């Protein structure tokens, strides 16, 4: 277990007057133990206590999870037991208990009925700790992004008149596996031509024709950490209008990235990129925030958007991905990941952003 990270959480719990915390989110469990869990319908939880107790609740069918709890107490239960009643015995009467924001209500409501305590979201603690990466995490993200770039670069090589978006999208899994990734973001975008006019197009039976934009947005997972990148290229030729759109998006991204440094507000990063796109008359076609934080999860707290007045901190990692999407014409998105440094940022991507015709 990562006792240093657990101690950080417990210290923050004390500062927030939280007596205990029930953690079940697989990504946070990985952050604290180095192992992902898949408990399905069964309860898997870690209960932290400001008095120092660290207790795992694990079903007896899942003995392979025992090593991740090294140094902590394990409470085993069977399918014949009421796991929530067992967990409830550890909850301090009248205390304040932090709960994962994604914990199923089928567990939470039963615990609330079984143990008399004040239940609050633990997001204000977990999210704030996870959003600032350590140097080891950033190195893992560099490695993951390197794999991602290889795959996306190869993906463009397979574009042909017979290849549908759906078939192209299905190739992602095999290619990530071939490059040693643990997994990939199954919601990735593979879009051709007019499909690129929608920011989150679902791949369909569309095949490419000359002049089409080809957009691929995907991310790998390696050693537990995510990558994410979008590149848009053009098939055989590019119109003057789409060339202009591409250069506008590229300018917006580079200008926004160049402004990144500690103390800059996330909303200002979004505004800088958005103002560039608006200046050229495409503001209404930039339909989403400019980015999102990333780490163990593909999308983490906080957003990089116009409503977020938080300031950027060193060792935060997030995407910068402006786009222009024009229905019935096409679209362009360019996405890179950055790690914030003491004086600016490091771009975790190495792939060129210059306009490319394949």
Name the residue among 71, 357, 86, 344 with its Cα closest to residue 213: 357
pLDDT exceeds 70 at position 186: no
Same domain, 164 and 102: no
Q: Any idea what the CATH number is for the domain that residue 98 is in?
A: 3.40.350.10
Contact 300, 219 (CB under 8 A): no
The distance of Cα 75 from the centroid of its chain, to the nearest Å, equals: 31
Question: Is 1 part of any domain?
Answer: yes
Q: What are phi and psi of 57, to 5 degrees?
A: -115, 115
Q: Are residues 237 and 140 in the same domain?
A: yes
- Smallest CA-to-CA distance from 187 within 177, 206, 201 is with 201
Is 298 a domain residue? yes
Instruction: Convert the pLDDT of each residue in 107-160 to its tens digit.
Output: 999 999 999 999 999 988 999 999 999 999 999 999 999 999 999 999 999 999
Q: For the segment 210-249, what is each residue's pLDDT rounded down to a tens digit?
A: 999 999 999 999 999 999 999 999 999 999 999 999 999 9
Instruction: Indicate whether 350 belongs to any domain.
Output: no
Tens of pLDDT, residues 253-296: 999 999 999 999 999 999 999 999 999 999 999 999 999 999 99
Helix (H, G, I), strand (E, B) or coil at 217: strand
Instruction: State the angle between helix axes of 123-130 and 3-15 in degrees (0 to 180), rounded to the nearest 10.
Output: 140
The residue segments making up the domain with residue 184 are 133-345
Please indicate, yes or no, if residue 80 is contained in any of the structural domains: yes
Shared-domain flag, residues 212 and 97: no
């Amino acid at each position: 277990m990562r006792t240093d990270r657990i101690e950080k959480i417990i210290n923050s719990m004390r500062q927030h007057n939280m007596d205990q915390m029930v953690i079940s989110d697989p990504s946070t469990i990985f952050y604290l133990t180095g192992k992902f869990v898949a408990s399905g319908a069964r309860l898997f939880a870690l209960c932290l206590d400001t008095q120092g107790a660290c207790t795992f609740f694990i079903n007896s069918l899942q003995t392979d999870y025992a090593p991740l709890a090294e140094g902590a107490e394990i409470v085993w239960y069977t399918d014949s037991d009421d796991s929530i009643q067992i967990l409830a015995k550890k909850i301090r009467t009248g205390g304040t208990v932090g709960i994962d924001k994604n914990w199923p209500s089928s567990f939470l409501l039963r615990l609330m009925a079984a143990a008399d305590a004040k239940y609050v979201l633990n997001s204000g603690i977990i999210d704030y700790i996870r959003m600032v990466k350590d140097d080891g995490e950033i190195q893992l993200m560099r490695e993951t992004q390197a794999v991602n770039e290889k795959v996306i670069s190869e993906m463009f090589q397979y574009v042909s008149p017979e290849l549908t978006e759906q078939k192209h999208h299905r190739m992602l899994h095999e290619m990530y596996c071939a490059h040693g990734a643990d997994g990939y973001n199954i919601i990735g975008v593979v879009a051709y031509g007019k499909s690129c006019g929608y920011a989150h197009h679902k791949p369909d039976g569309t095949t490419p024709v000359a002049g089409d934009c080809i957009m691929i947005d995907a991310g790998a997972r390696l050693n537990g950490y995510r990558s994410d990148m979008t590149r848009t290229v053009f098939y055989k030729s590019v119109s003057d209008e789409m060339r202009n759109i591409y250069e506008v998006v590229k300018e917006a991204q580079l200008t926004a990235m160049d402004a990144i440094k500690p103390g800059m507000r996330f909303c200002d990063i979004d505004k800088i990129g958005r103002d560039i796109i608006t200046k050229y008359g495409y503001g209404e076609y930039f339909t989403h925030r400019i980015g999102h934080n990333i780490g163990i999860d593909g999308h983490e707290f906080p957003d990089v958007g116009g409503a977020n007045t938080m300031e950027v901190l060193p060792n935060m990692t997030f995407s910068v991905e402006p786009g222009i999407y024009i229905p019935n014409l096409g679209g362009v998105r360019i996405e890179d990941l950055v790690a914030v440094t003491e004086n600016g940022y490091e771009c975790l991507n190495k792939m060129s952003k210059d306009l490319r015709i394949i």
